[in-house]
């Protein structure tokens, strides 16, 4: 597509439930990233995909967080047994491989609220 698409844009869930967040990157962008942003602050790196593999998962905060990418395109970030501290905006970005110096293109994010 023309831009990075994320869905849903907003998600309210009860504590303890599982949630899935979806990211559809720009066509041809094999690099995909997930970041988390709390309270309008800076971005916290979660995971990096190159194609379908995730060579860097170092930012995932706990084993309740997982992500996958299929067909080198759509990615899903799953949070199991959600906690209130998981409330944040989850941002997805994509870029061409080897073009990191040209910056990421971000989606509009999914605002997750755990009640």
Partner 1 sequence: TQLLEQSPQFLSIQEGENLTVYCNSSSVFSSLQWYRQEPGEGPVLLVTVVTGGEVKKLKRLTFQFGDARKDSSLHITAAQPGDTGLYLCAGVSGTYKYIFGTGTRLKVLA
- Whichever of 30 and 76 has its CB closer to partner 1, that residue is 30
Q: Which of 19, 79, 107, 112 binds partner 1 (CB under 8 A)?
A: 107
Q: Which of 26, 48, 65, 73 binds partner 1 (CB under 8 A)?
A: 48
- DSSP annotation string for 17-72: --EEEEEE--TT--EEEEEEE-TT--EEEEEEEETTEEEE-TT--STTEEEEE-TT
Residue 31, interface with partner 1 (CB under 8 A)? yes
**Which residues contact partner 1 by CB under 8 A?**
4, 31, 33, 35, 40-45, 48, 50, 56, 91, 93, 98, 100-109
């Amino acid at each position: 597509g023309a831009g990075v698409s994320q869905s849903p844009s907003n998600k309210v869930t009860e504590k303890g439930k599982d949630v899935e967040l979806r990211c559809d990157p720009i066509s041809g962008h094999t690099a995909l990233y997930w970041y988390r942003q709390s309270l309008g602050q800076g971005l916290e790196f979660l995971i990096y995909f190159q194609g379908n593999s995730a060579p860097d998962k170092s930012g995932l905060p706990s084993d309740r967080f997982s992500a996958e990418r299929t067909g080198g395109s759509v990615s899903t970030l799953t949070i199991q047994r959600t906690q209130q501290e998981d409330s944040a905006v989850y941002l997805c970005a994509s870029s061409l491989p080897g073009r990191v110096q040209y910056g990421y293109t971000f989606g509009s994010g999914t605002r997750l609220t755990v009640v």
